[in-house]
Amino acid sequence: MHKIHAAITAVHAYVPDYILTNKELEGMVDTNDEWITSRTGIKERRILKGDFATSDMGVHAVNGLLKKRGISASEIDLIIFCTTTPDMPFPATANVLADKIGAVNAWGYDLNAACSGFVFGLSTGSQFIESGKHKKVLVVGGDKMSSIINYKDRTSCIIFGDGCGAVLLEPNTEGYGVQDSILKSDGSGGSYLFQKAGGSLHPATSKTVENDEHYLVQEGQAVFKFAVTNMADVAAEIMEKNNLGPDDVAWLVPHQANKRIIDATTNRMGLSSDKVMINIERYGNTTNGTIPICLWEWESKLKKGDNVILAAFGGGFTWGSVYLKWAY
């Protein structure tokens, strides 16, 4: 009996239509296109307008995925929704999504590891496939970051955007799929990137709203310092652990937080830039959405057997890397 790996067998994503450009941001805060582009690599990001939530982007992503794979929602065993902007504190957005798409036989839960959520979710979801417990696991990563961004704070509002992607995991006994993962967290980094109010420590009051405490706060420089070393280190670590040299790696799929962090990771891994999926200029940082959105955009370029390394760093701090062999 060959070992069961969890293989990605389908991917799809959704980004909202509305494009918030650097030019438009220039009219909202004291910033300019040159600063944003040179410091982050971002030109524009998508914003989910209207009365829609994170789960609604998940519906678009998952329905597209199911159609591609030719299966119905009732065949899904488990939904892991990786998000930092759930529709509500509870019920879980995974349950909301299951109901909206008709995944009547699935159980589900939300996973919150900020920008590392999708990597954590992919690794976690894989365990249910590898153990033989489940045959079809959906890992969804998405955020409506615009719901927690303060559009008066120029240090954060220029970075984030909305979007969602999803992958389907199924068993593979030919050696394709997730090979390894390294996941890390360090709670002492919590004070550098957080949303203060709305939880049990500071429940919502008129005061918390008045004080803008329901918005994301980021100490950019401090986060940058940790991100730039830890994301590069963990990506290099998973290569070394699996005896992979730069020539063995077909693709790096990095979390899209800052082009300079992506470049540092690319250099550390010894990769040429044509092996790196980068779309930060069009979507900014969609938090849990960045990696599956990249996989969706590059799907036609991925080949069966390609060694793919995913790497992320986010609030918490959390960071990690997944090594997989592309299965189709």
What residues are labeled active site?
Answer: 115, 255, 285
Give residue 139's identity as a one-letter amino acid code.
V
177 touches 139 (CB < 8 A): no
Contacts made by residues 193-199, CB under 8 angstroms, sequence distance 24+: 193/114, 193/217, 193/218, 193/219, 193/223, 193/314, 193/315, 193/316, 193/317, 194/315, 195/148, 198/89, 199/89
Sheet with 107-111, edge to edge strand ranges: 5-14, 162-172, 137-144, 78-82, 107-111
37, 63, 150, 155: which one contacts ligand UT7 (CB under 6 A)? Answer: 155
Binding to ligand UT7 by CB under 6 A, coded x per residue (else -) over 55-94, reads: ----------------------------------------
Q: Does 232 bind ligand UT7 (CB under 6 A)?
A: no
227, 252, 278, 295: which one contacts ligand UT7 (CB under 6 A)? Answer: 227
Stretch that binds ligand UT7, among 150-158, 174-182, 265-273, 302-310 (CB under 6 A): 150-158
Stretch that binds ligand UT7, among 102-110, 152-160, 245-253, 300-308 (CB under 6 A): 152-160
Whole-number minimum distance, CB 265 to ligand UT7, in Å? 11
Choice between 229 and 242, CB closer to ligand UT7: 229
How many CB atoms are located within 10 Å of the residue 245 CB? 10
For the segment 292-321, give every residue that binds ligand UT7 (CB under 6 A).
313-314
* First-to-final CA distance of the chain: 22
- List, in order, residues 6 or more apart from 99 with CB less than 8 Å away: none
Note the residues at the interface with ligand UT7 (CB under 6 A): 31, 35-36, 39-40, 115, 154-155, 158, 220-221, 223-224, 227, 257-258, 261, 285, 313-314
